[in-house]
Amino acid sequence: MKFLIASVISIIASAPVFAVAAGSEILSGDVATADPNLRPRGAHLTLRSVLQLAQKKYSRIVSASDFEATRFSYACQNTTCEWSILYVGKYFTRDGETTRPSITPVFIINDRTQRVHFFPPLFPESPPADDPEMVFWARPKPMHLMSTAKEVYIFQVATPLNPHPGKPLRLLDPGARDALEHVLGDEQDWFHGLDDRIRVGEEPKNIGLVFRQGSDELTLFFASGGSVKAAFNGKSSGGWLKDKASAEMEKWKSEYAKPELATK
């Protein structure tokens, strides 16, 4: 782990700090200007293959549409050689303000085994595709459920910052359900990163949705700014919609959620 941490420090500071293994070299630079076919002396992988490994491993968490690779380094300690790739969030508009994700993920790739680590780690080990610890929009089953569930219910959420399953549940008609699928059913409509906003004060009432099919159940609790808390088969999760999808969701509410948003 000390080696991984040192690699992170090295790539950010752009200063090599490792002892060179025999027949190897230390390299660092900008991804945008580097030759993608770069292969350090003694290395098995090229820069291009390293970038492909990193993106393939965590494409559901660090989307190419939201993050870009900016810096790389290659260094060895004893007989272990590793690549480090630093990703920086792209600027986007949220609530009328230009911002970008506060996290700066770094991928550590072993040059020999091709094993990929994420720093800071999201999971103890690389999770399977439908690991319950993953956010719901990165998992096939809940995303599939939002697109295929024949039973979709809506309810009022009186306290969006501290939501609870509401009653009564109202079954959505097929038209409302189909329109909802177009808003929520595409993974690319969900921001691939962490919501680091701090919410204070009161929020107006909002809505919740329940998707049911067989033994599976997904509950979504909506708040302002596209923020969503979720529970899939009892496991808490969450996320937030990108601006365009959030605006489309507000239009959906104005048409199909009038009873739940009416003042009572």
Tens of pLDDT, residues 14-51: 433 333 344 456 788 888 899 999 998 888 999 999 99
Number of domains in the chain: 2
Please check the confidence at residue 158 and state whether its pLDDT lies above 90.
Answer: no
Q: What is the CATH number of the domain that holds 238?
A: 3.30.1490
pTM as predicted? 0.54
Q: Using the 3D structure, point to which of 86, 119, 152 is the last residue of a domain.
A: 119
Q: Please report whether residue 112 resides in a domain.
A: yes
- Name the burial class of residue 213, with classes exposed (0-12), middle (13-18) and buried (19+) by CB atoms within 10 angstroms of its CB: middle
Domain that holds residue 147: 136-261
**53 inside domain:** yes
Average pLDDT rounded to a whole number, residues 147-151 = 87
Helix (H) or strand (E) holding 72: strand 67-77
Do both 142 and 256 map to the same domain? yes
Whether residues 94 and 175 fall in one domain: no
Residues 257 and 140 in one domain: yes
* H/E element, 136: none
Specify which residues 119 forms β-bridges with.
106
- Could you tell me if 152 and 99 lie in one domain? no
Q: Is the pLDDT of residue 144 over 90?
A: no
Please write the tens of the pLDDT for every residue from 206-244.
999 999 988 889 999 998 888 888 888 888 777 778 888
Q: Which residue has the higher pLDDT, 3 or 221?
A: 221
Contacts (Cβ under 8 Å, ≥6 apart) of 200: none
* Residue 131 in domain: no
Query: DSSP labels for 97-117?
Result: EEE--S---EEEEETTT--EE
Q: Tell me, yes or no, whether 141 and 239 share the same domain.
A: yes
- Provide the 3-class DSSP secondary structure of residue 85: strand
